[in-house]
Structure formats: C-alpha cells, structure tokens
Amino acid sequence: MDLRLQPGFLGTNASLLSDLSLVAYVLFIAPAMLIGFVFARQGKHRPHHQYLMNAVTFVNWLLIIFLMAVSYVNGVLPGLPGSLGQPAIFLPTLHLLFGGAAQILATYTVYRMWREDTQVAAARKRGEQEVTRYWFKSAKPVMQAVLGLWLLTVVLGVATYISFYVASPAEAADAPEATPAVTESAPEAAPAVTPEG
C-alpha cells in the first residue's frame, strides 16, 4: 500500500502519509527534540540524549527522503523562480533552507559524537589518561543551533502543509469539488500552485 496515494484523515486534501507525518511531528518528533534538550540540561548525555537525538535525526531523514523531497521536487520546483511570491512556493522553499541546514548540522553532530566515542574508547584502550583532546568541544552551541533550526523548521513545515492542503475560504468557494482528496499522482498534485498559476 502506497501511503502517498491513500487519502488522509485530517479532512484536508493531503495524502495519508502527509497527515501521518504532520501528526507525528506535532505529537512525537517535536516533543522528542525538546525532551532531548532537557536530557542534555540534566546531564543525561549518554545514552538518553545521544540516542534520542540520533533517532530524531534518522526519522527526519526518512521523512525528508520519502515524503518532503518528492513533494518539493514535484510540486514546488516547477514553480521556481517565477511563482516565489506565492505562499505554496515561498513557504516550502524557506522551509527547505532552514530544514536543510538543520539536518546537515544535526548529521554532522551525530558523526562528531560517534567519532568522539570511538576515539575516546580507543585512547582508553591504549592506556591514555588524558582523553579530553578527543572531545567535540563546540558541541553545545552547535546542538543549540540544531534545536532552534529544527523547531523553526517544524513551524515552517506546518505552514507548508497548510499552504498546500488547506484551501482558504475564498479558494474553497471558487472550487468546492475541484480537488480530489488524493489523486494517482498525489505528490505532483500537492500544492495547488503551478508555474502558470
């Protein structure tokens, strides 16, 4: 079953995958980002904070690759640059810039923490006493930047969803029957905006 071809359950024009993703972000993933931050504040860096942030980064990548990138390439890219003034083109593009930066920074952090762990373990095995030189010393500001960018991106993602799938009263009045819940080419049909329109 292709979740992108099934109608969603939120009463909008979105697919089941988009609705599941929206609910997952609001109920689980965004709270998980904040809980990870609280773990770090409490000094529970390993394993709580580390595992949770690794999981959030991984799940973000899955949703970006299988939902958002497809939706962006099919529904937004054809409208660039001509229709950048329209919300359904502008919002996802801003969202891509913040979300892309957040994910690259988050992935870099995951890599640096993994490298720190392996290097410290190897140094201890060699009998080294001083292992602080292997630490990822600028981790804190980088992780704070990731959290800020993530949360901003989630807000822009919700705005993108609304611009794609929740018609304004005026638009709805103009075309009440026009948009089937989900079509065979759901991602392509995502935003109601076309390069022409």
Question: Which residues here bind ligand HEM, judged by CB under 6 A?
Answer: 14, 18, 21-22, 25, 60, 64, 67-69, 71-72, 92, 95-96, 99-100, 102-103, 150, 153-154, 157-158, 160-161, 164, 190
In the complex, least distance from residue 132 CB atom to ligand HEM, rounded to whole angstroms: 31
In the complex, least distance from residue 194 CB atom to ligand HEM, rounded to whole angstroms: 15
How many whole angstroms separate alpha carbon 28 and alpha carbon 50? Answer: 17
Nearer to ligand HEM, 155 or 172 (CB): 155
Nearer to ligand HEM, 22 or 53 (CB): 22
Q: Nearest residue by C-beta to ligand HEM?
A: 157
In the complex, least distance from residue 51 CB atom to ligand HEM, rounded to whole angstroms: 18
Nearer to ligand HEM, 18 or 83 (CB): 18
Nearer to ligand HEM, 134 or 154 (CB): 154
Nearer to ligand HEM, 123 or 142 (CB): 142
**SS3 per-residue string spanning the chain:** CCCCCCECCCCCCCEHHHHHHHHHHHHHHHHHHHHHHHHHHCCCHHHHHHHHHHHHHHHHHHHHHHHHHHHHHHHCHHHCCCCCCCHHHHHHHHHHHHHHHHHHHHHHHHHHHHHHHHHHHHHHHCCCCCCHHHCCCCHHHHHHHHHHHHHHHHHHHHHHHHHHHCCCHHHHHHCCCCCCCCCCCCCCCCCCCCCCC
Q: 185: how many CB neighbours lie within 10 A of its CB?
A: 11
In the complex, least distance from residue 189 CB atom to ligand HEM, rounded to whole angstroms: 10
In the complex, least distance from residue 153 CB atom to ligand HEM, rounded to whole angstroms: 4
